[in-house]
Amino acid sequence: MYESREHLQTLTEIRSLMERSSKFLSLSGLSGVSAGLIALAGAAVVYMRRQTDWFSAISDAQLYVADPTNHLAIKQFLVTVAVVVLVLALLSGSYFTIRKARRQGLSVWNTSSKRLLGAIAVPLAAGGVFCLALLHYNLIWLALPATLIFYGLALLNGSKYTLRDVESLAYCEIALGLLSLFWPGYNLLTWSIGFGVLHIVYGMAMYYKYERTTS
């Protein structure tokens, strides 16, 4: 009986070591929280701009048709906000992830992190090009749901190389993006929920589950 318990414990330790060597486990829940807050701030900027200047002169109905005469300034503004949000989210996420890895005594740039980046890079790159094409053809209302869908696909593809909890977030992002396709009048709201609220909820859950108990 004692030997069987020893064997079981040994197998458990081996499994844990194999999981750590094949998966990137240094993702910080605070990265999700910070990314969510930044996304909500970006959405707030877009919302406030919609209430003033040239944005307010264009109705929601006009945003859902291809109208190149009215959409150039809007596209430039949306792309600028999106780029700023992306850069700030990446910087904050990198900071918290590097901090967690250092506390664990691990390297951020290793085989598992390379696999993770490779897994999410293709869906994100394809989604980025697809969204730029939608903006090029003035299909602004489709671009916001598309970002949620492709982002969810990227998370789903990368979940096998990191915490499995990411898979749940991926399905939520995809479902919200698909719902947004049939709810065009609330695209900014669904985008805010997907990139803002869901990230904050997921990040807090991961922090309390994996980090707070070990800090």
Question: What sign does the dihedral 110-114-116-117 (CA atoms) show?
Answer: positive
pLDDT in tens, 65-75: 545 555 677 77
pLDDT digits (tens, 9 = 90+) for 13-47: 445 444 444 465 567 888 999 999 999 999 999 88
SS3 state of residue 162? strand
The residue extents of the domains of the chain are 27-211
The answer to whether 34 and 92 have CB atoms below 8 angstroms apart is: yes
pLDDT of residue 47: 85
One-letter-per-residue 3-state SS of 12-33:
HHHHHHHHHHHCECCCCHHHHH
In angstroms, the CA 64 to CA 60 distance is 7
CB contact set of 194 (below 8 Å; sequence gap of 6+) = 148, 151, 172, 173, 176, 177
Q: Do 68 and 139 form a contact (C-beta atoms < 8 A)?
A: no
Render pLDDT for 157-171 as a digit per residue (tens, 0 to 9). Answer: 988 888 778 899 999
Position 21 scores a pLDDT of 47
| Per-residue pLDDT tens over the stretch 169-186 | 999 999 999 999 998 778
152, 191 in Cβ contact below 8 A?
Answer: no
Whether the full predicted model's pTM is greater than 0.85, yes or no, is no
Q: Please state, rounded to an integer, the average pLDDT across all residues of the chain.
A: 80
Buried b (16+ CB within 10 A) or exposed e, 28-58: bbbbbbbbbbbbbebbeebeebbeeeebeee
* pLDDT for res 24: 56
DSSP H/E element including 171: helix 165-181
Q: From the CA atom positions of the chain, what is the Rg in Å?
A: 20
Residue 105 confidence (pLDDT): 74
Look at residue 93 in the predicted model and tell me its pLDDT. 86
